[in-house]
């Protein structure tokens, strides 16, 4: 049973464009929603995270938008750069804890 | 430097053989995790341990075993009972309730191929 659904599976964006990755969850007990970034051959690393008491969180070019009623959250990468090319995973957990349920990942490629 | 070290980075084994993947951390984290990554399936939790000498099954524990005898170490054994062991295995650690992030710190992974 997949509790966090992520789309699209892959995404190609032109340099300077906006990359948007979406996730939807089923478990209303989830209360912590991080995004992880993974480069080839490496482990994932935390990029940005949000809790459901806010609808948006921005860190530099990266923004999480959160819609509690729709049980959806998304990652927006503004002014996408070739160095942003990586696989992005959304995740969720309960109790603000570390036992994360991950989405299936989105492979982003930013072209010149 | 502080971090998580996984070894070996690449491993080949024949069917029917057990293999043990090493995970060591010097971050002084209490909790450690093992995830399996397959294309198109994301990361799936195999086992996790929140304290020494204690561990719990994750979502896909069948065919795997772990031990947590030391805070720094959380080795994973892939047994011959695991029907499809070829995958990329990731170890992670965290301090439960760390700040506001609950952040997981990952190693660089071990790629296991069964021939």
Mean pLDDT value across residues B33-51: 92
Burial of B84 (0-12, 13-18, 19+ CB in 10 A): exposed
Please choose, from the candidates A28, A51, A47, the residue with its C-alpha nearest in 3D space to the C-alpha of residue A90: A47
- The predicted pLDDT at position B1 comes to 65
pLDDT per position as a tens digit, A10-20: 999 999 999 99
Mean pLDDT value across residues B104-110: 95
Given an 8 Å threshold on Cβ–Cβ distance, is B102 in contact with A43?
A: no
Given an 8 Å threshold on Cβ–Cβ distance, is A98 in contact with B102?
A: yes
Contact with chain B for residue A40, Cβ under 8 A: no
Task: Give the confidence band of B99 by pLDDT, cuts at 50, 70, 90.
Answer: very low
Given an 8 Å threshold on Cβ–Cβ distance, is B42 in contact with A93?
A: no
Chain A, nearest residue to B38 by Cα: A104
- The Cα B79–Cα B67 span in angstroms is 14
For chain A, which residues score pLDDT lower than 70? 1-2, 96-97
Compute φ and ψ for A21, nearest 5 degrees.
-125, 135
Largest CA distance in chain A: 41
Tell whether omega for the bond before B10 is within 30 degrees of 0, i.e. cis: no
- The Cα A30–Cα A53 span in angstroms is 12
SS3 B69: coil
- Model confidence at B98: pLDDT above 60: no
């Amino acid at each position: 049973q997949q509790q966090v659904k992520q789309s699209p599976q892959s995404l190609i964006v032109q340099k300077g464009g906006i990359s948007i990755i979406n996730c939807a969850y089923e478990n209303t007990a989830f209360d912590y929603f991080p995004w992880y970034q993974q480069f080839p051959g490496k482990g994932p690393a935390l990029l940005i995270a949000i809790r459901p008491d806010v609808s948006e969180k921005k860190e530099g070019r990266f923004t999480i938008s959160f819609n509690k009623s729709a049980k959806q959250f998304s990652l927006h990468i503004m002014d996408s750069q070739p160095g942003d090319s990586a696989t992005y995973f959304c995740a969720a957990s309960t109790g603000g804890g570390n036992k994360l349920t991950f989405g299936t990942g989105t492979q982003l490629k930013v072209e010149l | 430097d502080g971090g998580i070290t996984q070894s070996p980075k690449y491993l080949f084994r024949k069917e029917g053989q057990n293999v043990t993947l090493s995970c060591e951390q010097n971050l002084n984290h209490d909790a450690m995790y093992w995830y399996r990554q397959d294309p198109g399936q994301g990361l799936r939790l195999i086992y996790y341990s929140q304290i020494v000498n204690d561990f719990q099954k994750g979502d896909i524990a069948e065919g795997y075993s772990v031990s947590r005898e030391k805070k720094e170490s959380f080795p994973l054994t892939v047994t011959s009972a695991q029907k499809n062991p070829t995958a990329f295995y990731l170890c992670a650690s965290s301090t439960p309730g760390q700040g506001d992030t609950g952040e997981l710190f990952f190693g660089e992974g071990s790629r296991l191929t069964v021939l």
